[in-house]
Structure 1
Amino acid sequence: MQASPIGIFDSGYGGLTVFRSIADRLPDYNYIYLGDNARSPYGDHAFDIIYKYTLECVEWLFAKGCHLVILACNTASAKALRTIQQRDLPAKYPDRRVLGVIRPTAEVIDQYTSTKQVGVMGTRGTVNSKSYLLEINKFFPDIQVYQQSCPMWVPLIENNEHLEPGADFFINEYCSQLLKQSADIDCVLLACTHYPLLLPKLKTIFPDYINILAQGDIVANSLVDYLARHPEIEQKLGKQGERSFYTSGDPVAFDEHASIFFGEALKSGKM
Structure 2
Amino acid sequence: MNEAPIGMFDSGVGGLTVMRAVMRRLPSESIIYFGDNARGPYGPRELTEIRRFALEIAEFLQSLGVKIIVIACNSATSAALLEVQRRCSVPVLGVVEPGARGAVQATHNRRIGVIGTVATVRSRAYQKAIHALDAGAHVHSRACPTLVEFVERGEVRGERVREEVRRYLAPLIRRGVDTLVLGCTHYPLLREVISEVMGEGVRLISSDEEVAREVEENLARRGYLRPPHGPPQYRFLCSGDVEQAVSLGRIFLGPEVEKVEKVELPLGRWAG
TM-score where L is the length of structure 1: 0.91
> Is the CA contact 1:33–1:246 (under 8 Å) kept in the aligned structure 2?
yes
In 2: Cα distance, 1:61 partner to 1:18 partner: 17
Q: Who is 2:126 aligned against?
A: 132
Q: Who is 1:227 aligned against?
A: 219
Cα deviations across residues 61-119 of structure 1 (Å, max 9, x unaligned)? 11111131100000000001111223x23xxxxx3221101122223322211111111
Identity of aligned residues (%): 34
- Cα distance, 1:238 vs. partner? 7.4
**What SS does the aligned partner of 1:136 have?**
helix
Q: Who is 2:59 aligned against?
A: 59
Tell me the C-alpha RMSD between the 2 structures. Answer: 1.7
In 2: Cα distance, 1:265 partner to 1:27 partner: 13
Q: Who is 1:202 aligned against?
A: 194
> Is the CA contact 2:99–2:205 (under 8 Å) kept in the aligned structure 1?
no
Cα deviations across residues 16-50 of structure 1 (Å, max 9, x unaligned)? 00100110000101110000000000001111110
Q: Who is 1:172 aligned against?
A: 166
**What SS does the aligned partner of 1:138 have?**
helix
> Is the CA contact 2:99–2:206 (under 8 Å) kept in the aligned structure 1?
no
In 1: Cα distance, 2:2 partner to 2:128 partner: 39
Amino acid at match of 1:74: N
In 2: Cα distance, 1:84 partner to 1:31 partner: 19
**What SS does the aligned partner of 1:37 have?**
coil
Listed as ranges, the gaps of 5+ residues in structure 2 are 264-272
Amino acid at match of 2:161: A
Q: Who is 2:244 aligned against?
A: 253
Change beyond 3 A, Cα 1:144–1:157:
same
In 2: Cα distance, 1:122 partner to 1:38 partner: 20
Cα deviations across residues 117-141 of structure 1 (Å, max 9, x unaligned)? 1111100100000001011111121
- Cα distance, 1:2 vs. partner? 7.9
Amino acid at match of 1:10: D
> Is the CA contact 1:5–1:238 (under 8 Å) kept in the aligned structure 2?
no
**What SS does the aligned partner of 1:29 have?**
coil
Cα deviations across residues 184-216 of structure 1 (Å, max 9, x unaligned)? x11101010000111111121112111011221
Q: Is 1:215 paired with 2:220?
A: no
In 1: Cα distance, 2:243 partner to 2:25 partner: 28
- Cα distance, 1:3 vs. partner? 3.1
Cα deviations across residues 168-195 of structure 1 (Å, max 9, x unaligned)? 2211101112222x12x11101010000
